[in-house]
Amino acid sequence: MDLLLKNRIALVTAASQGLGFATAQQLSREGAHVALCSRDEAHINAAVDSIRAETGNPVLGVRADVTQSGDISHLIDRVIDEYGGLDILITNAGGPPSMAFTEVDDAMWHEAVDLLLMSTVRLIRAALPHLRQSTAPCVLTITSISTKQPISDLVLSNSVRMAVIGLTKTLALEMGGEGIRFNSILPSWTETERVQELLEARAARNKTSLEEELAKQASSSPLGRVCTPEEFAKVATFLVSPVASYLTGNMVSVDGGTYKGVF
Ligand SMILES: NC(=O)c1ccc[n+]([C@@H]2O[C@H](COP(=O)([O-])OP(=O)(O)OC[C@H]3O[C@@H](n4cnc5c(N)ncnc54)[C@H](OP(=O)(O)O)[C@@H]3O)[C@@H](O)[C@H]2O)c1
């Protein structure tokens, strides 16, 4: 199936590695003109070089911290200067630290809100005038399966991401009349650098090994394994493609059946 992504312009934030990188790479494989950002110039340049070398399609890298509103304005300006428009916005950010409720102070709560919620609000606000000019505009927020089934020691993620889900659904309702689609994708355990760090922290706490912690997560899925970044990226790429034109307001779990509820 042709996903109709050739020459579409897509911005993926927090994409020098992990889920963001895999999604930008997959979009480029489908012929999209991709822009990506992260906080570290060297990381983002390496990501751009790797995608461009594989696909030969245009790739723009911008150093931007999504917790900084000035960086977000600059990022959107660079995309428009380079490509002349924007069809697809995928909002991603790093994850907040792994902690229990009693370890978290007010400053940490505010940081998590800035990282997960306000970055999404500001990115969508800055992108909106350009999305309104597109013939197939859409926004995909990357959240977590923790919004359906809280994950232990991730109180910040479990709580603040719920607000991103609320925002995504609200905007799908508010802006459907303008033809702008809003969806969210809820990953569970996917083999990225962040997961490696989280499981190393758990292994230290539980006095186990990384392999044992990984095996525990794998067994929480009926498929008996964790997700690969490429499996995640293929779902994300389909959701933002013009082929998914009647999908909006959906919270799509990519969790290998880890969530045990019926709906
Ligand atoms: N992997 C999973 O299993 C999983 C499951 C559920 C939810 N999630 C969530 O999905 C998101 C991505 O996860 P991941 O596993 O791909 O993480 P990851 O491997 O740690 O990658 C995070 C990426 O975000 C960039 N980044 C971090 N903070 C940033 C900021 N403030 N501004 C711009 N870029 C930033 C990092 O690059 P720089 O260091 O260069 O900035 C890196 O490219 C996270 O929020 C995570 O909590 C992941």
Does residue 201 share a domain with residue 111? no
Q: What is the DSSP string of 144-174?
A: -GGGTS--TTBHHHHHHHHHHHHHHHHHHHH
142 ligand 1 Cβ < 6 A: yes
Query: Does any domain span residue 125?
Result: yes
DSSP 154: B
65 ligand 1 Cβ < 6 A: yes
**Dist. CA 250 → ligand 1 center (Å):** 22
Query: Does any domain span residue 260?
Result: no
Does residue 215 share a domain with residue 99? no
Query: Does any domain span residue 258?
Result: no
Residues 40/64, Cβ–Cβ less than 8 Å:
no
Query: Does any domain span residue 175?
Result: yes
Tokens standing for residue 57: 């399609």
Does residue 126 share a domain with residue 183? yes
Query: Does any domain span residue 65?
Result: yes
Does residue 217 share a domain with residue 121? no
Does residue 216 share a domain with residue 96? no
If one residue of 25, 38, 65, 116 were mutated to test the ligand 1 pocket, choosing by the most ligand atoms within 8 A of its CB, it would be 38
**Dist. CA 95 → ligand 1 center (Å):** 6
In angstroms, the CA 235 to CA 185 distance is: 8
In angstroms, the CA 95 to CA 108 distance is: 12
If one residue of 43, 141, 165, 194 were mutated to test the ligand 1 pocket, choosing by the most ligand atoms within 8 A of its CB, it would be 194
Does residue 232 share a domain with residue 205? no
Q: What is the pLDDT of residue 147?
A: 96
CA-nearest of 61, 25, 28, 29 to 42 is 61
Does residue 209 share a domain with residue 246? no
Q: What is the pLDDT of residue 221?
A: 96
Which strands form 88-91's sheet, in the order they lie side by side?
Answer: 59-63, 33-38, 9-12, 88-91, 138-142, 181-187, 251-254
Crossing angle (nearest 10°) for helices 229-240 and 18-29: 60
Helix (H, G, I), strand (E, B) or coil at 240: helix
Does residue 166 share a domain with residue 85? yes
Question: What CATH number should be reported for the domain holding residue 147?
Answer: 3.40.50.720
Query: Does any domain span residue 261?
Result: no
CA-nearest of 263, 259, 235, 262 to 247 is 235
In angstroms, the CA 56 to CA 180 distance is: 29
Q: Which residue has the least CA distance to atom 22 on ligand 1?
A: 94
- Model confidence at 152: pLDDT above 90: no
In angstroms, the CA 214 to CA 212 distance is: 5
**Dist. CA 217 → ligand 1 center (Å):** 19
Residues 12/90, Cβ–Cβ less than 8 Å:
yes
Query: Does any domain span residue 259?
Result: no
Does residue 232 share a domain with residue 221? no
Residues 160/225, Cβ–Cβ less than 8 Å:
no
C-alpha neighbours within 13 Å on the C-beta side of residue 138: 24
Q: How many CB atoms within 10 Å of residue 104?
A: 17
In angstroms, the CA 47 to CA 18 distance is: 11
Helix (H, G, I), strand (E, B) or coil at 36: strand
Average pLDDT, the chain: 97
The pLDDT tens digits of the residues spanning 30-81 come to 999 999 999 999 999 999 999 999 999 999 999 999 999 999 999 999 999 9
Query: Does any domain span residue 206?
Result: yes
The pLDDT tens digits of the residues spanning 83-135 come to 999 999 999 999 999 899 999 999 999 999 999 999 999 999 999 999 999 99
In angstroms, the CA 230 to CA 145 distance is: 17
Residue with tokens 């926004």: 139
Q: Which residues contact 136 (CB under 8 A, 6 or more apart)?
A: 4, 8, 87, 242, 245
Does residue 180 share a domain with residue 72? yes
If one residue of 12, 17, 156 were mutated to test the ligand 1 pocket, choosing by the most ligand atoms within 8 A of its CB, it would be 17
Q: Which residue has the least CA distance to atom 6 on ligand 1?
A: 144
Does residue 198 share a domain with residue 132? no
Residues 57/32, Cβ–Cβ less than 8 Å:
yes
How sure is the predictor about 153, in pLDDT bands with cuts at 50, 70 and 90?
confident
Does residue 29 share a domain with residue 18? yes
- Model confidence at 197: pLDDT above 90: no
Domain that holds residue 69: 9-188+228-253
The pLDDT tens digits of the residues spanning 199-244 come to 898 899 899 999 999 999 999 999 999 999 999 999 999 999 999 9
Name the pTM for this structure.
Answer: 0.97
What is the domain count for the chain? 2
